[in-house]
Structure 1
Amino acid sequence: MIENVFRPGTTRPEAKGNGSIAKPPLRTPVSAMVSFWGLMRAYWFSDKWKEAWSLTLVVAFLTALSSKAGVWFAEASGELINSIAYFHSSTSDAPLATLLGHAAFLVALVVFKDAGITGTKSFVSATLHRRWRGWLNGRFNDALLDANHTHFHAQNGADTAPDNIDQRVQESIKGMTGGAIGLAMGVMAVASSIFFVGQKLLETSTEIRGFEFLGEYGSVVFALLAVAAYVPANTWIAVKLGGMLERLSIRMQKAEGSYRGELSTLLRRSFHVASAHGEAVQRNMHERLYTEIDRTWGRLNWVNAGYGSFERIYNFVGARVIAYAPGLLPFIHGRIDLKGYITGAELVNSLISQCSWFIHVMPAIATLRANSRRVIDLAQAIEGVQDPVEFYRRTGECDFRYITQNPVFGLSIQNLRLSHQGRDSEPFLICERLGFRRGEWTFLRGESGCGKTSLIKALNRLWPYGRGTIAFPQGVASFYAAQEVKLPPVTLKELVCLPEAQDNHNDATVAAALYKAGLGEFIGHLGDEARAGKSWDQLLSGGQKQKLVLARIVLHQPGLLFLDEATGALDPESKIAFYQTIRDNCPGVTVISVMHESAPPRSAAGEEFYHSVLTIADGMATKEPLTPALPAELTEILTQQPPILADGWLGLARRRLKTARSN
């Protein structure tokens, strides 16, 4: 026996030595994203760092240029106002031409700033948004869809399972990346604005009467004090309101995700709802889920409305009072003229506007934090399930050993106990010692809910709780065919080749597998993802989907095959053809099959497909061989002979036939 130990849910072996399991480092594509700053900087320190930094530097340059253009705008505004004020002055030689010239320059500057700089910056920042989001989407897809079955374990963690993974990967990542880029652009704009505007304020600063000790820096000190007193106090108010917005945004996302998830589930089970006339129940469920959305939305509207009113009042006071106050004393005392006063006021207004960016985007920041929290939670959940054994041990017993042994011994089970979540959960299924030799077909039967499917899942490393040892034949490929078949929107050839890539098999081999499975009419559509506007999942019936699974089995020819109600949608003749195809094309395969039938099916010639029966009753699994069937000719003779012939070997044959029928 080879002591290769496997973790549940993976096919990757771990070497066992010195009585312990060597654990690989828990590194995933999202390992660096389990904190806010780790999530924010991951893209810029990844293999795409050149792309990320190039786009970022272009955005930074355009942001700085826009801030400098803001200074030019303030100066141009001062010139225009001054030309209007002195339009009738005798010192003005050509007042109309001067006014129109300043107006034209101001318009050209606005076009250059808003259409040229801002438009280009929007395009580059949108490109950065698209690239960053695409990179994050790829990392989370790689992390969820790995060989460890992370997507499966992450959703089976009970209390730790993240809700609405689809929403987190799509909407939350999209909103987070867009919000983060906007935040970064705002910070860069504030820094560059303070530099350029502050520089200009210093150049135009003048002495203020009564405050001569400040010297020529009097007006700039007054301006900075006004900004420092006004902006932080209101920012504190904005932070408090933003916290309320963040909490409500997270609650809104959860409510929206639950409602959308239920709608998606309805579309998958639409037939069952219609056949059971369950529309009223489904409608009540939707109304109950939407009630939470409506209630949260109402509270969010109140906070948003209050924040909007606060922001409008803040903007008015800042632009019309605070911005014009610092330069009023120098203007009254004749230290500066009207042009200097207007220019200074516009500069202070620009400074207030840039420093108030945090206030203006607080709702967006609240949404950013809500989105990032959703993404971080998913990254943490992915990290938490990289060692499934330790993960499941937090909420119950998980002590499975998956080992390999010489193929001649087949598949073996020793001391297997399956239980549910909870450390005190009693086993609902016990398998003391079972063996399935190479080429043996075993029929698994038992009442509904007895644990048949759970046993199949445990054998495939997909049951989380319990203990026991399962020894697989070394080097033998396995295949698990479930009752419900879901087909992804890919080509027919890819569907048949799953789980391998389509390039591993030529068209002729795939076509032959389809033909043997009874789907020969589709051979000419191997390269099609759909027919008549419908995907294969929509086009194929339940029985045809199960035949498609049969085509996969024929193509891959596994040595170990698990059939969990894999023929439930087939008629009796098709079921027989299903098993006969496996018998003819997969020599030496070991089959463990779950069916609702009381007795295993036989071939068209009356021969047994199955060699043994595994019965689950009262929480115990017991295995015994099937009674060998008598030849069909002998059975016919015995049923036609009169009772007086029931002597000697013929009487013995009759008694065996009676025993076989009763079993």
Structure 2
Amino acid sequence: MRSFWGLIRAYWFSDHWKEAWSLTIIIALLTALSSKTGVWFAEMSGELINSIAFYHDAANTTPLRSLLTSAGMLVLLVIIKDAGITGTKTYISATLHRKWRSWLDSRFNEALLDQNHTHFHAQNGGDVQAPDNIDQRIQESIKGMTGGAIGLAMGIMAVASSLFFVGQKLLSMSTEVHGLEMFGEYGSAVLALAAVAIYVPLNTYIAIRLGGLLERLSIRMQTAEGSYRGELTTFLRRSFHVAASRGEAAQKAMHERLYVDIDRTWARMNVVNAGYGSFERIYNFVGARIVAYGPGLVPFITNRVDLKGYITGAELVNALITQCSWFIHVMPAIASLRANSRRVIDLAEAIETVQEPRAFYQRSGHSDFHYGLQNPVFGLSIQGLELTHHGQDAAPFLSAERLRFKRGEWTFIKGESGCGKTSLIKAINGLWAYGRGTVVFPEGVKTFYAAQEVKLPPLSLKELVCLPEAPADYSDTQVAASLHKAGLGDFIEYLTDDNQKGKSWDQLLSGGQKQKLVVARILLQQPGLLFLDEATGALDPDGKIAFHQAIKDNCRDVTVISIMHEAVPPKAADGTNFYDSVLAIADGVAVKTALAPVLPAELTTILAHPENFEDRWKRLPRIRIRQK
């Protein structure tokens, strides 16, 4: 789907091809029937005009009956064509539009949300500019493109069928024309078709030039509106921070600056649209009143055709001009179609480009990461790791020759801000673009990455706790138990709700409660390898201890790699260490060292005062001693 025609025909050659072709064939048949009805309409228009012209003729013995019959048949044809045929075709084409758009939407969502993290790579790094406003491209651009393409296809069908049926009728009615004797009895048909062939293409060329300008303006308008809408959405998500910093004036100035581009582009589009509208109205008048009636005037003056034949021929030519002028009438829509398709194709190209992330990033920097699996007994191993930034000549800002995280080991990462702590965790998880190294994961062990900022999608509470797995994988009892252990027991009764009092869970829960929700996920899903990237930043000291203790008590043998703001790792309430080792990053080098074990405070007191040994020994069963 990286070209216009590839994108357009993909649905018809997909696994939904039966659905696509069935609807298309029905539309084609209805279009042909509509064109044939147009011929009947032209003939009946001639009958009506003829019955009016000869109403008082002595030879007309039933003038009123003839007039009413012709008028009634004309009205009946209008009802059949516009209400029956056109109405049915509109419904079928709208159904095709809906199904085609749904199919395309699902394909792009599947491509973006694959296991390769394509949505992430398409927007980060590389020498290819990331596509802006992906939400707009998937929704508005696909909708506009599919609708425009179906309309264009129906117009082409209408032109083809009209040329066949109307041309056939013109040929059957044709007569010799003075000055065109070389064409014999086809003289009037040749004259009519020549008038259409000259008038329509010439004006279509003008329309195409104007349409190209509209296409460029449409793309610019979509980009400007998408940027403005995106900033509005982002602003509403951070409205608290804007209010707290009294940043309304700066935010307003930003909105006004973004809207300027919309306003200027809109002004230019208004000028072009107004000019195109004037061109189209003049074209319609000349076509319907001059070009349509001109060719038949010569044989009518020379008595080659009567009034009925002249009117019928003029109506047929007018119908032909109308059908062949479809491109002119919808050129603004075609411009929008091309603009929308360009936006969708750009997104498809970006998705295709990042299917091999390493090759993609190697075009703009050094990227040579290797990921493998090993026996879980050996834990997580890292060798020859170097992290760099964008650029082929970028020097490493972080290196680690050899690191090993044993099963059940808790490691605390410390270092100054900007030293690369989060970059290290991203690289381990395949989310860092540039550098080199080998990362070997324990085979069959589930990993979990908990970031500092928690964004909750609009799902039910149970679905949020079960993410990224399916709610059906866990019972309500299991989810409720996890919430209780995480300190969110008050919300257990709302497991199936996706909001509370009109507010989503993302709006309702505080930052600390969201991080407790992450704890509930961990306790429920029991990962074997856990990455905590400042995942306790919104919790108070007691909350941080409870966070760690819940994991320690409920996730046996979990390997934890954690980043926190604190200079030293937190300890349990009884004074023991949660963490077994510290990974210090300084001067661009990561070095891992073991922490000395700390005895529980009660046991330390016993050893310090042996005279009270017997009394204190009785209380030892209440002391939690972790066995290693």
Superposition TM-score tier, normalisation by shorter sequence: over 0.9
Instruction: For residue 404 of structure 1, report the CA deviation from its aligned partner.
Output: 2.0
Q: CA deviation at 1:408?
A: 2.4
Any runs of at least 4 consecutive aligned residues in structure 1 with deviations exceeding 6 A, and if so which?
634-640
Q: Deviation at 1:405?
A: 2.3
1:14 alignment partner in structure 2: none
* Match status 1:144 vs 2:128: no
Query: Contact 2:125/2:433 (CA < 8 Å) preserved in 1?
Result: no
Secondary structure, aligned partner of 2:454: coil
Contact 2:574 2:600 in 1 (8 A): no
What is the letter of the counterpart of residue 92 of structure 1?
N
Which one of the candidate residues 79, 88, 103 is aligned to 2:47? 79
Q: Hey, what's the Cα distance between the residues in 2 that align with 1:445 and 1:355?
A: 72
Q: Deviations over 1:247-273 (max 9, x none)?
A: 111111111111111111111111111
Q: Residue 389 of structure 1 corresponds to which residue in structure 2?
A: 358
RMSD: 1.6
The answer for the alignment partner of 2:16 in structure 1 is: 48
Tell me if structure 1 keeps the 8 A contact 2:177–2:188: yes
DSSP-derived class of the 1:443 partner: strand
Return the alpha-carbon distance in structure 1 between the equivalents of residues 347 and 603 of structure 2. Answer: 66
> After superposition, what is the alpha-carbon deviation per residue over 1:435-455, rounded to whole angstroms, capped at 9, x for unaligned?
211211111111221111111
1:560-571 map, 5 Å:
560-571=529-540
Q: Which AA in structure 1 matches 2:60?
A: S
Query: What's the offset of the Cα at 1:634?
Result: 7.9
2:515 is aligned with 1:508: no
Within the candidate set 514, 521, 525, 1:545 is matched to 514
Say if 2:371 is the partner of 1:402. Answer: yes
The superposition leaves residues 378-403 of structure 1 with CA deviations (integer Å, 9 ceiling, x where unpaired) of 11111111110001111111001112
The equivalent of 1:214 in structure 2 is: 183
Q: Identify the residue that residue 398 of structure 2 maps to in structure 1.
A: 429
The reply on whether 1:377 has 2:346 as its aligned counterpart is: yes
| Residue 156 (str. 1) matches residue 124 (str. 2) | yes
- 1:364 and 2:364 equivalent? no
1:629 offset after TM fit, Å?
3.3
Q: Which residue in the other structure is 1:587 paired with?
A: 556
Supply the distance in 1 between the matched residues of 2:391 and 2:348 (Cα, whole angstroms).
Answer: 25
Instruction: Work out the percentage of aligned pairs sharing the same amino acid.
Output: 73
**1:138-194 deviations in Å (ceiling 9; x for gaps):** 111111111111111111145431111100100000000000000000000001101
- Does residue 122 (structure 1) correspond to residue 90 (structure 2)? The answer is yes
* Aligned position for 1:11: none
Q: How does 1:213-612 map to 2 (within 5 A)?
A: 213-612=182-581
The Cα of 1:550 is off from its aligned counterpart by 0.5
Do the aligned residues in 1 keep the contact of 2:576 with 2:599 (CA within 8 Å)?
no
CA distance, structure 1, for counterparts of residue 8 and residue 513 of structure 2: 47
Alignment partners' CA distance in 2, 1:217 and 1:372: 44
Write the distance in 2 (CA, Å) between the matches of 1:603 and 1:621.
Answer: 26
1:133 aligned to which of 101, 109, 117: 101
Task: Show the counterpart of 1:16.
Answer: none
What is the SS of the residue equivalent to 1:47?
Answer: coil
Aligned AA for 1:212?
E
- Looking at structure 2, the residues matched to 639 and 297 of structure 1 have their Cα atoms a distance apart, in angstroms, of 82
Q: Give, in whole Å, the separation in 2 of the partners of 1:516 and 1:624.
A: 32
Give the letter aligned to residue 517 of structure 1.
A
Indicate which of 57, 60, 80 corresponds to 2:28.
60
Residue aligned with 2:369, SS:
strand
Describe the SS at the equivalent of 1:286: helix
Tell me if structure 1 keeps the 8 A contact 2:575–2:599. Answer: no
* Separation (CA, whole Å) in 2 of partners of 1:437 and 1:135: 46
1:73-117 per-position Cα deviation (integer Å, ceiling 9, x unaligned): 111111111111112211211222222221122112111111111
Instruction: Answer yes or no: is the 8 Å Cα contact 2:171–2:186 preserved in 1.
Output: yes
Q: CA deviation at 1:336?
A: 0.6
Decide which of 128, 139, 150 is 1:181's aligned counterpart. Answer: 150
1:88 and 2:56 matched: yes
Deviation sequence 1:9-33 (CA, Å, 0-9, x none): xxxxxxxxxxxxxxxxxxxxxxxx1
TM-score normalised to the size of structure 1? 0.90
CA contact (8 A) 2:369 2:436 kept: yes
Q: Counterparts of 1:570 and 1:558 in 2: how far apart (Å)? A: 22
Which shifted more, 481-490 or 151-160? 151-160
Paired residue secondary structure (1:329) = helix
What secondary structure does 1:417 align onto? strand
Moved more, 39-48 or 88-97: 88-97
Q: In the aligned structure 2, how far is the partner of 1:599 from the partner of 1:362?
A: 67
For residues 54 and 630 of structure 1, the distance between their equivalents in structure 2, rounded to whole angstroms, comes to 76
Of 102, 107, 111, 2:75 maps to: 107
> What is the Cα deviation at residue 120 of structure 1?
1.0
CA distance in 2, matches of 1:280, 1:363: 38
3-state SS, counterpart of residue 445 of structure 2: coil
Aligned residue in 2 for 1:38:
6
Alpha-carbon distance between aligned partners in 2 of 1:85 and 1:472, rounded to the nearest angstrom: 92
Structure 1, unaligned runs of 5 or more: 1-32, 641-663
Q: How many residues align?
A: 608
Q: Is the 8 A contact 2:221 2:265 kept in 1?
A: yes
Separation in 1, partners of 2:151, 2:600: 80
Shift of 1:209: 2.0
SS of 2:224's equivalent in the other structure is: helix
SS at match of 1:335: coil
Gaps (5+ residues) in structure 2? 610-628
Counterpart of 1:327 in 2: which secondary structure? helix
Contact 2:380 2:441 in 1 (8 A): yes
Q: What is the alpha-carbon distance in structure 2 between the residues aligned to residue 426 and residue 111 of structure 1?
A: 76
Q: Is the 8 A contact 2:125 2:390 kept in 1?
A: no
Superposed CA deviations along residues 529-556 of structure 1, whole A, max 9, x for unmatched, are: 2222222112211111111111111111
TM superposition shift of 1:635:
6.7
Could you tell me which amino acid in structure 1 is paired with residue 76 of structure 2?
A: A
